[in-house]
A = this chain, B = another copy of it.
Amino acid sequence: MREPRQERSRTTRRRLVEAAVECIAERGWNGITVAVIAERAGVSRGAAQHHFPAREDLVAAAVELVGETQLIELRTRSADLPPGSSRIEPVVDMLFNLYAGPMFRAALHLWVAASTDDALRSVLVPLEARVGREAHRVALELLGVDESHPGVREMVQATLDLARGLGLANLLTDDTRRRQQIVRQWAQVLAPALPQAAPAGS
């Protein structure tokens, strides 16, 4: 009986965290409570409060889920891309679209709420630093570039900062068309600035 109960508990927890990310993206940090999240997840309030006594207790799990989900999505979608500089435009497109989606929207609500809430800030800052480093590592890997060349580190950072700026521009209006034009232009800027890493075995 022990295994299934642990598994049920893990499933419940996962559903609550997924519901939390959706609720934060839609209603903002100030619009959510554990009760709201429990209802969205189809979980009883008691069970929700057992896993997450307060909404603050959801933050670490939510940020982890967002980071992990985005990583899996990027890795899956980039698996079939060709090597070399022709992968730059599709990778930039993927990155920019990722930051224009509901998960970045949830992160944005958390960041802005944390800027006026010291307790939330102290939870969020180390989490976001870790997610930021991970995003940088994955961007390097997907672009297939070697960071030891001068300027490469800053160009990859600028790509992620630009992605976040474009995500912000997509918050109140649909900015897709303009973003597509910037994807094309950005890929043209990145191509000569990013020396491709030597293929494995060369």
Q: List A residues at the B interface (Cβ < 8 Å).
A: 26-28, 30-31, 105, 108-109, 111-116, 121, 124-125, 128-129, 151, 154-155, 157-158, 160-169, 171-173, 178, 181-182, 184-186, 188-189, 193
Contact = CB atoms under 8 A, between A and B. Distances in A.
A161 B172 contact: no
Contacts of A151: 185, 188
Chain copies in the assembly? 2
18 contacts: A28-B112, A105-B115, A108-B168, A111-B172, A112-B171, A121-B172, A129-B173, A154-B182, A154-B184, A154-B185, A157-B181, A158-B186, A161-B182, A162-B162, A162-B165, A164-B164, A164-B169, A165-B165
Nearest 10 A/B pairs, CB to CB: A165-B165, A154-B185, A161-B165, A164-B165, A112-B112, A28-B116, A162-B162, A161-B166, A115-B171, A164-B168
A9 to B, nearest CB: 31
Contact of A165 (B111, B112, B163): B163
Nearest to A109: B112
Contacts of A162: 158, 161-162, 165
A28 B112 CA distance: 8
Contacts of A171: 111-112, 115
Given A161-B166, A186-B158, A189-B193, A28 B172 contact: no
